[in-house]
Amino acid sequence: MFKQPELPYALSDLSPVLSEETLKFHYGIHEKTYIDNLNKLIVGTPFEQKTLEEIITGSNGPIFNNAAQTYNHIFYFECFSVQGGGMPDGALLDAIKSTFGSFEKFQEIFETEGTKLFGSGWVWLVKDEKESLSIMATGNAGNPLTNRLSPILCFDLWEHAYYIDYRNRRAEYLHKLWDIVDWNKISQRFAK
Ligand code: MN
């Protein structure tokens, strides 16, 4: 049984970038539903004893979709903090600069990839086994673990993530999210 983790902030803390109403629906209903569905689907299957990562890399169909959406949402909500924003420092900043040219260029490519993806999905900063960074977008429930890549940062591209606050303006939503990114958390993931 997977349990929905608490958010590392109050529902109203990320406003106005993400409103309390958005988090009420996105965390309270969307994320919770994926977890409830996953728990129902794995009853009596070998996946009952597995980790989320193992389910994502070993399943397909509804079990994959709900496991990946559970992972992706938990990972997404943990990207943010009340004290977020600014830019990373140390090893992560060095890696971003050497890969993308500058932090600003990285942000621009990340936003463009997120805006370009047709339909629902996710945009990710990932690292490979050699610690090389790249940006990728995945459709629907897609998750980089299935390509043997480790997620560092993700922005949700499903309309439910932004429609209450930004209507159809996905690009504006993506641009505003930088103001709440918790770079301490992202740096810890990069260092792992
Ligand atoms: Mn979502």
List of domains in the chain: 20-77 (1.10.287.990), 90-191 (3.55.40.20)
Ligand 1 centroid–CA 45 distance in Å is 26
Give this prediction's pTM.
0.98
Ligand 1 centroid–CA 62 distance in Å is 16
Per-residue pLDDT at 169 = 98
Ligand 1 centroid–CA 90 distance in Å is 30
Using a CB cutoff of 5 Å, list residues around ligand 1, an ion.
156, 158, 161
Per-residue pLDDT at 164 = 98
**Quick one: which of 116, 115, 112, 120 has its CA closest to 159?**
120
Per-residue pLDDT at 187 = 98
CA 142 vs CA 44, 66, 70, 133, 138: distances in Å: 25, 11, 11, 18, 5
Is the CB of residue 23 less than 8 Å from the CB of residue 13? no
Ligand 1 centroid–CA 27 distance in Å is 8
Ligand 1 centroid–CA 120 distance in Å is 9
**Quick one: which of 124, 103, 126 has its CA closest to 113?**
124
Ligand 1 centroid–CA 79 distance in Å is 13
Per-residue pLDDT at 148 = 97
Ligand 1 centroid–CA 63 distance in Å is 17
* pLDDT of the chain, 192 residues: tens digit per residue: 999 999 999 999 999 999 999 999 999 999 999 999 999 999 999 999 999 999 999 999 999 999 999 999 999 999 999 999 999 999 999 999 999 999 999 999 999 999 999 999 999 999 999 999 999 999 999 999 999 999 999 999 999 999 999 999 999 999 999 999 999 999 999 999
